[in-house]
Amino acid sequence: MAEERYNRKNPAVKRILQEVKEMQSNPSDDFMSLPLEENIFEWQFAIRGPADSEFEGGIYHGRIQLPSEYPFKPPSFMLLTPNGRFETQTKICLSISNHHPEHWQPSWSVRTALVALIAFMPTSPNGALGSLDYTKDERRVLAIKSREAAPKFGSTERQRLIDEIHEYMLSKAPPVPQVSTSQSPEDQAAKSEDEVQENAVNTVAEETQEELPEGPAPAEDSITEEVQPREVPPPAVTSVQLQQTHPAPSATLQQTSPVVPRQADDRLFTWAAVGLTIAIVFLLLKKFMKANGHSAFFMDES
């Protein structure tokens, strides 16, 4: 690097050169970043996809543009490798980027920013500028594809640096987990749970059909209702039922007790009807006797 091109007394240049030396002397397996020889304010980087995520095993290249006021103003970030989380060749919106200068701290460095970028990969985009929301399966496919070759971008010098960083990351990156792209682990786990529940329901249904007497086949969607009649009523219910059966005779007695006075009333009405009948017969007989000349008999009698 032609360091003589830059004023080493400039705070930005001085800080950048310090970070370059630190990056070379203390490399990381999770990322690598170096500036262009012709412009130390432009860096090329590559990060490794975070473990236990759909990005695991992927190698994602990008570009960092440092401002002339660095480190007092934040850098801008751009991804070059398709990843399904951020748009490519578009400045992404992060709290560590120039989209939010109010959050930037001068003590932060390129290394700090790359660590934060890796942590941002599996988070929800929430509609942020430059973000994408691909499915996990699509991101896994892109992670595998990202290892095949470094992206093509810019001049020959940029491409040479990108290829160099890619070879370094390949040497440090673990193999990509082989997961079927048709179903994610969450979907497979959910499917297994559904199958277990379905088998359990079918088993209960079969046992119920065997124990119930012969009759119409029960509906599949009413298994719960069919099982309930088979439950033995608790003792408390039986005692209540027994208690409810005792008042029945008393109720019957109360209903039949008024029958006695009703019979007496019927007899009274009967005797009254008999007396009235006798009186009517007597009057008719008297009238008949008068008509035949025997009225003196009744007069003497009176």
Task: Please identify every residue annotated as catalytic.
Answer: 93
Helix 110-120 vs helix 11-25: crossing angle, to nearest 10: 60
The set of residues, in sequence order, having a beta carbon less than 8 Å from that of 53 and lying 6+ positions away, is 121, 122
Q: Please give the DSSP secondary-structure letter assigned to residue 10.
A: S
3-state class percentages of the chain: helix first, strand second, coil last, to nearest 5? 50, 10, 40
Non-local (6+) Cβ contacts of 218 within 8 A are 205, 208, 209, 212, 226
Continuous segment of H or E residues that includes residue 93: none
DSSP code at position 8: T
For every residue of 173-222, DSSP letters joined together read: PPPPP---SSS-HHHHHHHHHHHHHHHHHHHHHHHHHHHSPS-SPPPGGG
Return the C-alpha torsion angle 89, 155, 81, 63, nearest 10.
-60
Closest CA to 121 of 133, 109, 111: 133
Place of tokens 């786990």: 189
Alpha-carbon span 30 to 56, nearest angstrom? 11
Nearest CA among 109, 118, 121 for reference residue 23? 109
- Cis peptide, bond prior to residue 71, ω within 30 of zero: yes
